[in-house]
Chain A
Amino acid sequence: MSVNLTLLIVMGVLYACGIYLILERSLTRVLLGLMLLANATNLLILATGGYAGLAPLFDQDIPSEDYNDPLPQALILTSIVISFAVTAFMLGIIYRTWTLGRQDEIQDDVEDRRVARTPSFDAEDDADVPMETSEFPLTAVASPGTAAESDGETVTAGAKELSADTAALEESPGSRNVSRNINLEGGER
């Protein structure tokens, strides 16, 4: 007795065709490829059972070496059921793709393409004078995008009331936020 060479060759051919098919862009071909791969694997499990033998129905007169190994067959049965379920589901998805877009192709991820096209410069993160986007009113006045107006506008900061100009000065880059400076410039106490 020997391992069945035909089975092994068939297994090899199934694997080759399966791998070729899952590399295609057409969904139906991918599905066919997956089915071939699953069946090739079933043959592989069958081959691991060793030499062909009698059906494993116990009889006291038959020595144990004459039986076929039943476990791989149980494994194959499980894997056939699983690949059946997956195939049915894939068919459902392929049909849905067809009804939605009239196409049988694997589609690109739109968001992925968009992120890939996005320039590396980001106005909010990378601008030299960063655009101020905080929630606090003081900085909102100081943001260079909005050109602070100085005609009498005042801003309450803590216990004090400051003119918008002073407040903007205080919030600008490089300021040390010292109220003494503001007093020198004539801010209210």
Chain B
Amino acid sequence: MNFADTGNMASLAPLAVVLPILGAALTFVLIRHSRAQRAVSIGLLALTLLLECLLLASVWDGGTTAVTIGGWLPPWGIVLVVDQFSSLMLVVSTVVSLAVLVYATGQGMADGDQDAPLSVFHPTYLILVAGVSNAFLTGDLFNLYVGFEILLTASYVLMTLGGTGPRIRAGVTYVVVSVVSSVLFLIAIAMIYGATGTVTMADLAIKLAELDPGTQTLLHVMLLVAFGIKAAVFPLSFWLPDSYPTAPAPVTAVFAGLLTKVGVYAMVRTETLLFPGENLNTPLMVAALLTMVVGILGAIAQSDIKRLLSFTLVSHIGYMVFGLAMSSIAGLGAAMFYVAHHITIQTSLFLVTGLIERRGGSSSIDRLGGLAKLSPVLALLFFVPGMNLAGIPPFSGFLGKVGLMQAGVSLGTPLAIVLVVGGVVTSLLTLLAIARVWNRAFWRKPEDAEYPDPVLQRPGTVGMLPRTMVGSTAGLVLFGVALTVFAGPLFRVSDQAATEMLDRSSYIQAVLGDEAPVPPIPKTLPAEAVQDGGSK
């Protein structure tokens, strides 16, 4: 196969959505045969991952390719757009979902839950993956809404799996908040269609610029609010720590990794493609600062590891919004790298928490102790992503944060400097929160815990940590380390992607043809920010 021939490779892009849906259908048919179900879902997801790696390879050196669906040409039909950012997100998200799927399969096999309600897991999970892939690939605003709905509907089912009291309670909050954000998104789409007569994003990039500035701001704010709820940006983030921790460990892990990042991805597309320039950058920066600080202060107060991690998840969304709000090449590039890093690390931490819960009988740091002695492997698996999340050198979390800080300093506005300081403080407080978990759950003796769990008195880990679960977690932790090792090429790709996305001509012309006019960006960027972007 010829990698240089991007057109041919990219025409396989629809398969990234079709294969998981096909897998969902097959696993639904095989609902009584759990072994076949596992083989089909893992096999098809691995195939999807292979395909997405080919997609990423085809756009690795830049360029954007659009695939029209069903022969309907844009701006009338639906297009899928493969560029560096979307294919990078696809690969990272599928690596993470594959690891979580293997973990969940291991957990299912260990606990022997072969009965009816949980066999729904495989089809639902694959539909979730299809929705995420669709949201990353699509070049059509309404199709983005459909992608969101596919993944949200699947996530409602996963969130309330088993139908226990706490999960139903959390599920109600989650469903209502998600539906409200979807309605807001749909209202925004309706208004955009009413104002411009199109929902193809490339076409919108041209037509939105011709609108009255007031109308533009209205549509811009509507979209940002809708995506802000999904991405859990500060004033709209309170649903997340309330609803994530009660779900089963693998489900929380995949939600934490992927769902909020799809919201961030949609925000990036809105800010770069639809509404370029610096219109709402100041409010976005303030929101980013508050997200970081309020989120991490919440994390410090928690005693349940899952809740603590949910709060750090909210807090670190702030870094991505910060990078996005700078709308400079360096900032956007660092934000993209940070998204890839954070998907991997946050998911691994939640998977490890699932293991901690199995070994220690609880996920509350008041009940845990001595895990470093009981299971050194578990301690290592927690320590590496934990330090990575806190941004300790040389891990990818450090590199991503340094990239953001550099971009902030080179932007040089007072607000950007405040955000840089806020980012450093948040990083330190994250270290504090992680160290608290480490000191209590791993370092102290089990007897010193406030209410030690009786299971801590049993020596060793025999039969408590299935090999598949530990193996998949270790694989994901290693993938996180690999992001550190290959940070150089990744930063090069994300900076290049940021350059192309801020320029927009590559995207618009890939969808609408080479003659399509590219409207100028309303207000030009500060010259030094553009210059600094290239030299990393």
What 1/0 flags go to A39-74 for Cβ under 8 Å of B?
001001101100000000000000000000001100
Which of B85-93, B99-107, B188-196 lies at the interface with chain A?
Answer: B188-196
- Tell me if B194 and A93 are in contact (CB < 8 A): no
Q: Is B230 in the interface zone, CB < 8 Å from A?
A: no
* Contact present for A135 and B183 (CB under 8 Å): no
Query: Which residue of the partner chain A has the closest CB to B164?
Result: A100
Asked if B169 contacts A107 (CB within 8 A), the reply is: yes
A-B residue pairs in contact (CB < 8 Å), sample of 27: A34-B179, A38-B183, A41-B190, A44-B191, A45-B193, A48-B191, A72-B190, A75-B142, A75-B190, A75-B193, A78-B142, A79-B186, A86-B156, A89-B153, A93-B172, A97-B172, A100-B165, A100-B168, A101-B165, A107-B169, A107-B172, A111-B307, A115-B303, A124-B440, A131-B448, A135-B372, A135-B444
Q: Are A133 and B445 in contact (CB under 8 A)?
A: yes
Instruction: List 4 other contacts, CB 8 Å, given A75-B190, A86-B153, A97-B168.
Output: A22-B180, A38-B183, A72-B190, A86-B175
Q: Chain A: how many interface residues by the 8 Å CB criterion? A: 41
Give the CA-CA distance A44 to B194 in the complex, in Å.
9
Within 8 A of A (CB), among B151-187: 153, 156-157, 160, 163, 165-166, 168-173, 175-176, 179-180, 182-183, 186-187
CB-nearest residue of chain A relative to B176? A30
A-B pairs with the 6 shortest C-beta distances? A48-B194, A133-B444, A133-B448, A45-B190, A44-B190, A82-B149
- Report B-chain residues with C-beta under 8 Å of the C-beta of A44: 187, 190-191
Interface: A112 (CB within 8 A): yes
A contact residues vs B (CB 8 Å cutoff): 22, 27, 30, 34, 37-38, 41, 44-45, 47-48, 71-72, 75, 78-79, 82, 85-86, 89-90, 93, 96-97, 100-101, 106-107, 109-112, 115, 118, 124-125, 131, 133-135, 140
A106 to B177, CA, bound (A): 13
Would you give the shortest CB distance from B475 to chain A, in whole angstroms? 29
Task: List the B side residues contacting A78 at CB < 8 Å.
Answer: 142, 146
B304 within 8 A of A: yes
B301 close to A (CB within 8 Å): yes
Q: Is the CB of B179 within 8 A of A106?
A: no
A96 to B176, CA, bound (A): 16
Q: Do A75 and B443 have beta carbons less than 8 Å apart?
A: no
B444 contact from A38, A96, A110, A134, Cβ within 8 A: A134
Inter-chain contacts of B245 with A (CB < 8 A): 111
Given the known interface contacts A48-B193, A115-B303, the answer about A37 and B183 at a Cβ–Cβ threshold of 8 Å is: yes
Of B186, B307, B445, which contacts A135 at CB under 8 A? B445
Inter-chain CA distance A37–B181, complex, in Å, is: 11
Identify which of A82, A115, A134, A140 gathers the most chain B CB atoms within 10 Å of its CB.
A82
State the CA gap A173–B171 with chains docked (Å). 50
B532: CB under 8 A from chain A?
A: no
* Complex partner residue of A133 from B173, B189, B372, B443, CB under 8 angstroms: B443
Distance, CA A139 to CA B242, complexed state (A):
39
Report which of A37, A75, A96, A124 forms a contact with B163, defined as CB distance below 8 A.
Answer: A96
Please measure, in the bound complex, the distance between the C-alpha atom of A100 and the C-alpha atom of B171, giving whole angstroms.
14
Q: B370: CB under 8 A from chain A?
A: yes
Q: For the complex, give the distance between the alpha carbons of A118 and B187 in Å.
A: 42
Interface size on B, residues (CB 8 A): 49
Nearest chain A residue, comparing its CB with the CB of B143: A78
The answer to the question of B506 belonging to the interface, with a C-beta cut-off of 8 Å to chain A, is: no
Instruction: Return chain B residues, CB-CB under 8 Å to A97.
Output: 168-169, 172
**Distance, CA A96 to CA B302, complexed state (A):** 29
List the B residue with the shortest CB-CB distance to A143. B448
- CB of B143 to closest CB in A, whole Å: 10
Q: Is the CB of B171 within 8 A of A109?
A: no
Of all chain A residues, the one with the shortest Cβ separation from B171 is A93
| Chain B: CB-nearest residue to A120 | B301
Chain B minimum-CB-distance residue to A18: B183
* Alpha-carbon separation in the docked complex, A101 to B146 (Å): 34
Residues of B within 8 A of A100 (CB): 165, 168
Q: Which residues of B contact A71 (CB under 8 A)?
A: 193, 199
Complex alpha-carbon distance, A30 and B173, angstroms: 11
A22→B176 CA distance, assembly (Å) = 9
Bound state CA distance, A116 and B45, in angstroms? 42
Chain B, 476-510, CB within 8 A of any chain A CB = none
A111 touches B304 (CB 8 A): yes
A96 touches B168 (CB 8 A): yes
- Is the Cβ of A41 less than 8 Å from the Cβ of B168? no
Task: Mark each residue of chain B from 379 to 415: 1 if its CB lies under 8 Å from any CB of chain A, else 0.
Answer: 0000000000000000000000000000000000000
Partner of A112, one of B242, B369, B443: B242
CB distance from B441 to the nearest CB of A (A): 12
CB distance from A163 to the nearest CB of B (A): 23
| Docked CA distance A93–B243 (Å) | 14
Provide the residues of chain A in CB contact with B179, threshold 8 Å. 34, 38, 86
Docked pose: A109 CA to B167 CA in angstroms? 11
- Is A115 a contact partner of B168 (Cβ separation < 8 A)? no
Q: Which residues of B contact A45 (CB under 8 A)?
A: 186, 189-190, 193
Q: How distant is the Cα of A140 from the Cα of B445 in the complex, in angstroms?
A: 10
Taking a contact as CB atoms under 8 Å apart, the answer to whether B303 and A118 are in contact is yes
Contact B301 A106 (CB under 8 A): no
Q: Are B153 and A85 in contact (CB under 8 A)?
A: yes
A131 CB to closest chain B CB (Å) equals 8
